[in-house]
Structure 1
């Protein structure tokens, strides 16, 4: 991570988990191998990566994000995320789930949105915005994904059918 600002607010009892949120703004993710892997890995049982599913070649060497936000819960041996979003002109994603548990396993789900700056404009359209864009942090084009397994090398599953479902209808294809 490079540049930007970050605010972390956590609270909790001494014998329980800490809960709160993290909010970062105007930062770059530089040469992050997990981001590169996320967009270029072809999932088992599928023939396409996220790049191929959205018919793009996304350069992940230096990615600008306008905002990153998530509710967090940090307990002994685990970190859970909820209502997470990363917004940038080239990439956007929503996410929720367990980043790691006591056995170092991950189980995250979300929606990956390429060309997010342009993609989210559909959500701003009067009347059709809610239908096409599915809210402020969603876009017209997106691919639902799931990362699970060993947190150091999670397995990526994508639902290629979700790319053809506009906005609000994409929730039909979300991983539960």
Structure 2
């Protein structure tokens, strides 16, 4: 982690973590198990998989952060692991105790992101190096003590670059 500031300005920098594990993370479990409004399927059911979130290993976690008085913002965040990947950005918390994080959740990430490595075709189908062919957009927002998770089930059928149409703002 490298953070710095000039004068009274917010701390800015990046976090880059390697080879770590999340154990029983409730928000991750909620993204995978929530039933979006208007859909009867969870993310697990939508991707026809059994995503086990009890213990998830990651090869890398990276984000640019800005820490000011009463807030922490994240930009260009990415989690990469063999089973799960995610991109994310937004406010981890604000002065009112709320959060608003949006991103794309990608199951079977090790295999899924291979599309992003193919020149030109990877930019279209995989939407770049840290994204995948299959993904679902999500938003975690509300009080930091009990945020609500929303997923957009339509985004799972949109390949790579077209998925940005379904991202939450």
TM-score (norm 2): 0.94
Q: Do the aligned partners of 1:73 and 1:79 also contact (CA within 8 Å) in 2?
A: yes
Residues 1-176 of structure 1 mapped to structure 2, 5 A cutoff: 8-176=1-169
1-structure distance, mates of 2:46, 2:141:
20
2-structure distance, mates of 1:148, 1:95:
13
After TM superposition, the structure 1 stretch with the greater mean CA deviation from structure 2, 75-84 or 126-135, is 126-135
Q: Do the aligned partners of 1:145 and 1:158 also contact (CA within 8 Å) in 2?
A: yes
2-structure distance, mates of 1:110, 1:168:
13
Misfit runs of 4+, over 3 Å: 43-46
2-structure distance, mates of 1:46, 1:12:
45
Q: Give the alignment's Cα RMSD to 1 decimal.
A: 1.3
Q: Do the aligned partners of 1:43 and 1:155 also contact (CA within 8 Å) in 2?
A: no
After TM superposition, the structure 1 stretch with the greater mean CA deviation from structure 2, 149-158 or 89-98, is 149-158
The alpha carbon displacement at 1:14 in A equals: 4.5
The alpha carbon displacement at 1:28 in A equals: 1.1
The alpha carbon displacement at 1:170 in A equals: 0.7
The alpha carbon displacement at 1:31 in A equals: 2.0
Aligned residue pairs: how many?
Answer: 169
Q: Do the aligned partners of 2:31 and 2:151 also contact (CA within 8 Å) in 1?
A: no
TM-score (norm 1): 0.90
Structure 1: gaps of 5 or more residues: 1-7
